[in-house]
């Protein structure tokens, strides 16, 4: 039977994935380990490890990650548990919530920044109304009661 040695198993657990320049993804993406993106992503991203956004990468969507090293272009809100590092070629349009924020002199950032308090982080990806983003359809109920009779006119 095939099995990994403890050292190889540890390396596999800390491996990383790479999406090269020829990759174009439409949809949400979730990574439990480190991830490098050099292609295009139109959708939201949750990375529970280190995220590297390469110089040629283009991401349109919200991102939640442990750490981000960014050299490409992102349009969307970013939340980072530890450090967001914008390289000189980075272009970020969107709000940032982060513990540490490093910006090189030529990087472009258009948005607002909010610094995280100690222990104030979760990997849940939320929209601006604080609803968890999901591919599962949500059932919404209307709080207004329907009436079998039309409303009465005031006398």
Give every CB contact of residue 19 below 8 A, 6+ residues apart in sequence.
Answer: 25, 35, 36, 37, 38, 39, 41
Q: For the residues 47-59, what does the mean pLDDT come to?
A: 96
Percent of the chain with pLDDT over 90: 59
Predicted confidence at residue 135, as pLDDT, reads 36
| Mean model confidence pLDDT for the chain | 78
Say what the pLDDT of residue 118 is.
73
What is the rounded average pLDDT of the residues 86-107? 96
Both structure tokens of 7: 């050292």
pTM for the full model? Answer: 0.71
Q: Output the pLDDT for position 126.
A: 59
pLDDT given for residue 15 in this prediction: 65
């Amino acid at each position: 039977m095939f099995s990994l040695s403890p050292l190889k198993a540890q390396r596999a657990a800390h491996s990383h994935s790479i999406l090269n320049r020829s990759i174009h993804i439409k949809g949400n993406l979730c990574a439990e380990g480190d991830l490098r993106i050099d292609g295009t992503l139109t959708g939201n991203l949750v990375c529970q490890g280190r995220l590297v956004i390469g110089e040629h990468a283009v991401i349109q969507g919200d991102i939640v990650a442990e750490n981000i090293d960014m050299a490409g272009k992102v349009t969307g809100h970013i939340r980072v548990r530890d450090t967001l590092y914008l390289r000189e070629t980075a272009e970020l349009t969107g709000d940032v919530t982060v513990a540490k924020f490093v910006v090189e002199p030529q990087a472009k950032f258009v948005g607002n920044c909010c610094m995280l308090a100690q222990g104030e982080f979760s990997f849940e990806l939320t929209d601006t109304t604080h609803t968890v983003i999901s591919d599962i359809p949500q059932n919404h109920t209307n709080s207004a009661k329907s009436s079998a009779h039309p409303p009465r006119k005031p006398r």
